[in-house]
Structure 1
Amino acid sequence: MIKLTRLDGEAFILNAELIRYVERRGDTFVTLTNGERLPVKETMDEVVDRSIEYQQRKHFLPPMPSTLGPAPTDTNLHTTS
């Protein structure tokens, strides 16, 4: 996920996996894999740098610990005969 800015100044988070290409046509446009085009304030280089940084972080960060906690144990499973 990368943080970008709409032309009106509103920040938003974009899933960088959905970027198909970035182009400069006056403004910077990010075209997504579904064909949607998003104009952003960032330059092409900034969008590319953030996307590369995202990919690097994604591959180098250790997995997040589970928030579910340890698996419950059933004390009734160990019966003596």
Structure 2
Amino acid sequence: MIKLTKFKSHDHDFVLNAELIETIEETPDTVITLTNGKKLIVAEGMDEVVRRVMEYRRAMFRNTR
């Protein structure tokens, strides 16, 4: 799970299951498309979302050893 902020709502954080992410685009807003087709627009940039997903997956891998 990764913590993100809803676009134009800097005080509304939410947690997203990173395993549901299909694509991330900057158009210029960051749009996350989930495996079910739902689209989310977030305040974080694409590179930051990718960094958080990678950090989440590294933590999951460490816990399986």
TM-score (norm 2): 0.91
1:52 is aligned, of 51, 54, 62, to 54
2:23 matches 1:18: no
TM-score (norm 1): 0.73
% identical aligned pairs: 49
Point out the structure with max Rg over C-alpha: 1
* Per-residue deviation, 1:26: 1.9
Counterpart residue number, 1:40: 42
Specify which structure has the higher proportion of strand: 2
What is the SS of the residue equivalent to 2:23? strand
Quick check: 53-62 or 40-49, which moved more?
53-62
- RMSD of the TM alignment (CA)? 1.3
Report 1 or 2 for greater relative contact order, CA contacts < 8 Å, sequence distance ≥ 6. Answer: 2
Counterpart residue number, 1:78: none
Cα distance in 1 for partners of 2:53, 2:30 equals 15
What is the SS of the residue equivalent to 2:33? strand
What is the identity, as a one-letter code, of the residue corresponding to 2:3?
K
Aligned length: 63
